Structure 1
Amino acid sequence: MKLLILGATGPTGRHVVDLALRAGDSVTAFVRNPAALGDLADRVTLFTGDATSPRDVSAAAVGQEAVVSALGVGTSVRAGDLFTRASTAVIGAAGEAGVSRLVWLSSFGVGHTFDWSSGPQKLIYRTLLRSVYADKAIADERIRSSALDWTVVYPTRLTHGPAKGTFSADDRLPMKGNPTISRADVAAFMHRATRSGEWIHRSPVITD
């Protein structure tokens, strides 16, 4: 499968790249800094650009079969308008290139999932993550309103632990406390979703 991966050098995106290569996919890694891919640079097609630039994303989307976005802001508690601008660029680029499949990484607690959150989660989402989540909410709704075959993924708190393969995924899951899921498991779910119609036009919540 020909995959365009945004955020390919990030902590989740790197796992997606690894899994795609193991599966024999043709990977185009959309990055700001090619050196960040390290030893994987020779195994992927590198595209250096800005994920919020419609022109850059459009050029990278040509010839792809699916777009996977694992964009994030790292440890920052401010998104600026990264997700809103990137979603606009991706929707337009995919439409122009004739790419219908989009798997987009969001966060549990964004938009409609906030109401399903536990008390401890809501406190964090209302304070520390308020700016980032507001930007993500707008982006997610834009994607859901698009003509693409989208999947918007809502993982709980991300960790750097190893993949367990035992996580739960559904349109809605009960929450207690502040559950977690490894980035490796999130990447595995996203990669599988590109090949399956099960999650098209759905917004799965995933957690351990």
Structure 2
Amino acid sequence: MFLVTGASGNIGGHIARQLLAAGHAVRVFARDPDKLGELADRVEIARGDFSDAGSLGAAALGTKAVFLNTGPNPPALPALLAALKANGAPRVVFLSSILAGDPEFFLGRMHRANEETLAASGLRSTVLRPSGFMTNTLRWADSIRAEDVVYNAMGTGRAPMIAPEDIAAVAVRALLDASLAGQALELTGGELLNVPEQVDILSGLLGRTLRSVDVSIEDTVQGLVASGIPEPVARGVAQSLEAVRDGRGRAMTPTVQRVTGVAPRSFDAWARANTARFA
């Protein structure tokens, strides 16, 4: 039995489905099981919330390993890890960020602090450090539908975006293979693309001309704040966008193929499978 958190999100759901497809039993930790969709009928559900560490500990009983996605600012990570340790001490596969390897970034320091808390807990763990998700481009859907426009704060800077399915595939291997414990795995896609190149790909898939329109970093910050993101976090996101814009995007890594045996998806392949979400 494996415990998966965040199964209603971009990565946890793929992990649960991949584990099920491989014939493994899956328990999902969920605050609102109604958000699990069809997955709810295929898994064991443990109701709980990260604000109640005991509920996570109870959900972990009898499991071999746990996929833990707390986000960069969890309410009480030491308590959550202590609850896991007190309930069988399953191995942990922990979602972090590629920014954790660079103390220059505000969000990187947040993620690195979480990794250090995990290490101090004594739990055997594998840390996943993915680059930017391809699913972040779904934020463009509204402006594409309304204006055929993508607003772009990264100019022509390139980055190795990764599909959530590929992050999930590495997570599944880490859940199944205890020899990956003790490692921090930096995960990227297999190509460097900028926003105008991604927009060209979407134009071809949607069959109409889309435009990439440059916007300032400050306008991006204000848009994120208006959407409900706290300003310090919004400025942290903007800092990473600015680094890409200035040509300081992270290099590609071969980790996905090394761990899974399969090359990461291209943006074209991922967007082709998700075209309806932009249309």
Q: Deviations over 1:94-148 (max 9, x none)?
A: 21111331000001112xx116xxxxxx6xxx4xxx3x54432221111122211
Cα 1:67–1:89 change in 2 (3 A) is farther
Alpha-carbon contact 2:60-2:90 (below 8 Å) kept: no
List alignment gaps of at least 5 residues for structure 2: 137-156, 190-279
Answer 1 or 2: higher relative contact order, Cα 8 Å, separation at least 6.
1
1:114 paired residue number: 102
Report the structure number with the largest CA radius of gyration.
2
Query: What's the secondary structure of 2:111's corresponding residue?
Result: helix
1:143 paired residue number: 118
Query: What's the secondary structure of 1:11's corresponding residue?
Result: coil
51-60 vs 13-22, which moves further: 51-60
One-letter amino acid of the counterpart of residue 15, structure 1: H
List alignment gaps of at least 5 residues for structure 1: 73-78, 116-121, 162-175
TM-score (normalised: structure 1): 0.74
Alpha-carbon contact 2:82-2:121 (below 8 Å) kept: no
Identity %: 30
Counterpart check, 1:69 vs 2:68: yes
1:103 paired residue number: 93
1:164 paired residue number: none
One-letter amino acid of the counterpart of residue 162, structure 2: I
5-14 vs 183-192, which moves further: 5-14
2:185 paired residue number: 204
Counterpart check, 1:191 vs 2:200: no
2-structure distance, mates of 1:135, 1:32: 24
- Alpha-carbon shift at residue 90 of structure 1 (Å): 3.2
2-structure distance, mates of 1:191, 1:144: 20
1-structure distance, mates of 2:124, 2:59: 19
One-letter amino acid of the counterpart of residue 62, structure 2: G
Query: What's the secondary structure of 1:24's corresponding residue?
Result: coil
Higher percent of residues as strand: 1
Question: How many corresponding residue pairs?
Answer: 169
Alpha-carbon contact 1:10-1:71 (below 8 Å) kept: no
2-structure distance, mates of 1:153, 1:182: 14
- Alpha-carbon shift at residue 198 of structure 1 (Å): 3.2
1:5 paired residue number: 4
Determine which of 127, 130, 140 is the counterpart of 1:155.
Answer: 130
One-letter amino acid of the counterpart of residue 190, structure 1: A
Cα 1:183–1:71 change in 2 (3 A) is farther
2-structure distance, mates of 1:90, 1:152: 16
- Alpha-carbon shift at residue 177 of structure 1 (Å): 4.1
Alpha-carbon RMSD across the aligned residues, in angstroms, is 2.1
1:28 paired residue number: 27
Higher percent of residues as helix: 2
